[in-house]
Amino acid sequence: MLCATSRFLAATALRAQPRGRGPALRCRRRELHFPGHPEPPLCDFLTGQLGRPSVPAGRRAILRRGRMPPAVGGGLAGSELRARRGRCGSQAARAVSPDVAVEAAARSHKQPAPGSRHFEAAGRWALLALVTLLSFATRFHRLDEPQHICWDETHFGKMGSYYINRTFFFDVHPPLGKMLIGLAGYLSGYDGTFSFQKPGDKYEHHNYMGMRGFCASLGSLLVPFAYLTVLELSKSLPAALLTAALLTFDTGCLTLSQYILLDPILMFFIMAAMLSMVKYNSCADRPFSAPWWFWLSLTGINLAGALGVKFVGLFIIVQVGWNTISDLWHLFGDLSLSLVTVGKHLTARILCLIVLPLALYTATYAVHFMVLNKSGPGDGFFSSAFQARLSGNNLHNASIPEYLAYGSVITVKNLRMAIGYLHSHRHLYPEGIGARQQQVTTYLHKDYNNLWIIKKHNTNSDPLDPSFPVEFVRHGDIIRLEHKETSRNLHSHYHEAPLTRKHYQVTGYGINGTGDSNDFWRIEVVNRKFGNRIKVLRSRIRFIHLVTGCVLGSSGKVLPKWGWEQLEVTCTPYLKETLNSIWNVEDHINPKLPNISLDVLQPSFPEILLESHMVMIRGNNGLKPKDNEFTSKPWHWPINYQGLRFSGINDTDFRVYLLGNPVVWWLNLLSIALYLLSGSIIAVAMQRGARLPPEVEGLSQVLLRGGGQLLLGWMLHYFPFFLMGRILYFHHYFPAMLFSSMLTGVLWDTLLRLCAWSLASSSLARGIHTVGIMSLLLGAAYSFYLFHPLAYGMVGPLAQDPRSPMAGLRWLESWDF
């Protein structure tokens, strides 16, 4: 299902744009030097490039049609500056000077050199390097602590080990993330021998740093990615710096990046996809150029990565899809483009954003199944046919007769996972529970009591008698199933089942195979025509009780002690197609038939792919919260209501607590509200036809378009959780938090600029932007200084104790550190 949905979403996804040749040069130059920004010196450069009367007019037309790819936006800002400078140079100089000041503040080691473009570019590279370095430094600091398993490391570390040991396992997430963890472990010399039993177990001599280091480096890259994305969207260095600072100094992102988890990998792909999408939007004025293709296909690759780590990668696919659709829609409306060109655009996007990601996604599964070729803990979740692939499984290399015949001894397995084999034993249903006949249950383990003999309903002769010819069982036949060990027939009647009301009881009845007409079942193969033979492993069959018309199924409910805590088998009168009532034949013994190797029956790759998705989706749906347990609710997350204990409880333990830096998070929350407010004011003003001054218009475009994309990202990564029935955790919010932080960066920079502009006449304006951004930066840094023990580990008394270093920092009672 999910797979299909993703295909649909990706299919609806596409984007790009062409435009005059003039800006194309600009684009390439910017690609070569550095992601562009309209900082004063560059503006000069742009102004020089754009000093043709025709260009601004064209750009306005674009704006009015409702699209402003960032590259054009950059050009716009440049032209605005030019216009403004034309009118009143001094004001323009004032308006842009805060940037310079901030830059100067941010890199005190380097003098701003207004004249030299190379110097400028080098400065930007240096700044990017600084941001990256700081991010890596914070993430790798005390990475080895604690030297024991923290929280979900017990799962994902274990799964990494499974890849190294090549044993098959089952997990509700797609395989890419765990494969990468396994690869990192393998390359760093971890041998896969650590058992990852439970949180708190010491790693001792095992080399776990490779896996943690891998996750930490991907986690560290989030900061430069966010920095570049914001730079591209807002063309403002302070905004980008603010975003980078918020993320670097967020204890939550930091903690989540330091352990062997899927989240840093997932967020890496999400942010990389976002960055490449924004980049290729910037190249829209030069379609089909090398950088355009590069960013477009990189977007596709990252989408495959995001979906390959967790299914929530779907949200970024929706975002890219939406972006692409609106882009194509605008291209389609551009009458200067021929339909052939539009068709080319469409094809390019189908190739890069649908075909390529699908191929890669499928490839990860191919690798997954290729690597995991040994039987392991995940076998039982999959169908019998699937298990035949795994070496060490008893179905592997087995040979059994292919088609079911009368007299065959078989085991019958339910198709729903974790239900098991149809089973009976020499115990009766207790007094008062239906008829007092022999129990029929399902049982997860292999056992002689799982064996049944297929007989014809009307004769009791032994079909294995050599004088009889072999007669195959066919779809639609009336049969009797005799329990081999006790010689009783599978039987049902109008008595209520032991646990499920309205269903009928299923029992073992009769003596030596002689029972009554309630022992007759019609055997049907799902989706097959009458008269077809029945294949072991592959055929999905149903047993329909002839007298009552009900269907044999297992309710999945555990019977009490009298039923040995095996699962209930019932006959359901509701003829709904559910997996609970579909079975397949697994073992098959019939001396009269030739054995064939099971390899013939092995499922093909598409079938494996489909099956594993079904199993994963079912597993995900199975993760339901219990009633009386405290569970994290989506509304808790943005307000940082409660964290997650990664390690330790008591005051003697080494404690790590996943909690967002409250200053950063509450600033983010405030920013979303402010954004909605300011955004709607601007939108209404524009709709009313208010004439905005060019400076304000440029800024409001950044706010509406750039900020809008980020807001969309936040919403897509947050709101769907409200609809999810499965159990949720705090860390599910972090992808949304990245978008929210980027929005904060864009919003505050823009708001401060607007503020500075409105006070332009006073001498105060000059400093407002600088002071504002600086105080936000410092605030984030200081709060990080306060809260860093959450991430780097706390020992000693808990926070309610005044002697604790965290005393006074427990701002909400719900935080327990």
- Is position 649 an interface residue for another protein (rule: CB under 8 A)? yes
| Min CB(357)–another protein separation in Å | 25
* Minimum CB distance to another protein smaller for 599 or for 651: 651
- Is position 502 an interface residue for another protein (rule: CB under 8 A)? yes
Rounded CA Rg of the chain: 33
244: amino acid identity, one letter: A
SS3 assignment for 751-797: HHHHHHHHCCCCCCHHHHHHHHHHHHHHHHHHHHHHHHHHHHCECCC
Question: Binding segment for another protein among 72-80, 257-265, 327-335, 443-451 (CB under 8 A)?
Answer: 327-335
- Is position 811 an interface residue for another protein (rule: CB under 8 A)? no
Helix (H) or strand (E) holding 800: none
Q: Where are the beta strands (DSSP E) in 471-518?
A: 478-483, 489-496, 504-509
Question: Binding segment for another protein among 26-34, 255-263, 332-340, 769-777 (CB under 8 A)?
Answer: 332-340
List, in order, residues 6 or more apart from 285 with CB less than 8 Å away.
17, 18, 19, 20, 23, 24, 27, 69, 71, 72
Binding mask 337-376 for another protein (x = CB under 8 A): --x-------------------------------------
* Minimum CB distance to another protein smaller for 323 or for 572: 572
CA quadruple 716, 722, 727, 729: dihedral, nearest 10: 60
**Spatial CA neighbour of 558 closest among 475, 444, 709, 462:** 444
* Minimum CB distance to another protein smaller for 431 or for 627: 627
Question: Binding segment for another protein among 318-326, 402-410, 506-514, 573-581 (CB under 8 A)?
Answer: 573-581
- Is position 549 an interface residue for another protein (rule: CB under 8 A)? no
Q: Give the residue ranges of DSSP H helices in 433-513.
A: none
* Minimum CB distance to another protein smaller for 319 or for 642: 642
**Spatial CA neighbour of 215 closest among 264, 277, 165:** 264
CB atoms within 10 A of CB 676: 11
- Is position 198 an interface residue for another protein (rule: CB under 8 A)? no
Phi and psi at residue 3, to the nearest 5°: -60, -45
* Minimum CB distance to another protein smaller for 150 or for 410: 150
Binding mask 693-722 for another protein (x = CB under 8 A): ------------------------------
- Is position 723 an interface residue for another protein (rule: CB under 8 A)? yes
- Is position 574 an interface residue for another protein (rule: CB under 8 A)? yes
- Is position 573 an interface residue for another protein (rule: CB under 8 A)? yes
| Min CB(574)–another protein separation in Å | 6
| Min CB(426)–another protein separation in Å | 25
Interface positions, 136-155, toward another protein (CB under 8 A)? none
SS3 assignment for 28-75: HHHHHHCCCCCCHHHHHHHHHHHCCCHHHHHHHHHHHCCCCCHHHHHH
* Minimum CB distance to another protein smaller for 465 or for 813: 813
Q: Which of 119, 294, 322, 329 binds another protein (CB under 8 A)?
A: 329
Q: Which of 89, 333, 392, 805 binds another protein (CB under 8 A)?
A: 333
Determine whether 576 is exposed, middle or buried from the number of CB atoms within 10 Å of its CB (0-12, 13-18, 19+): exposed
Please work out the total of residues on this chain that contact another protein, with binding judged by CB under 8 A.
26
Report the distance separating Cα 617 and Cα 614, nearest Å: 5
Interface positions, 653-692, toward another protein (CB under 8 A)? 684, 687-689
Binding mask 725-764 for another protein (x = CB under 8 A): x---------------------------------------
**Spatial CA neighbour of 721 closest among 737, 698, 700:** 737
Tokens 């029929």, residue? 440
| 3-class DSSP assignment, residue 597 | strand
CB atoms within 10 A of CB 133: 12
Question: Binding segment for another protein among 19-27, 280-288, 331-339, 433-441 (CB under 8 A)?
Answer: 331-339
Q: Which of 198, 576, 691, 803 binds another protein (CB under 8 A)?
A: 576
| Min CB(297)–another protein separation in Å | 27
Interface positions, 615-644, toward another protein (CB under 8 A)? 626-630, 641-642
Report the distance separating Cα 439 and Cα 629, nearest Å: 35
Interface positions, 790-809, toward another protein (CB under 8 A)? none
List interacting residues with another protein (CB under 8 A). Answer: 329, 332-333, 335, 339, 502, 572-574, 576, 626-630, 641-642, 649, 684, 687-689, 723, 725, 814, 816
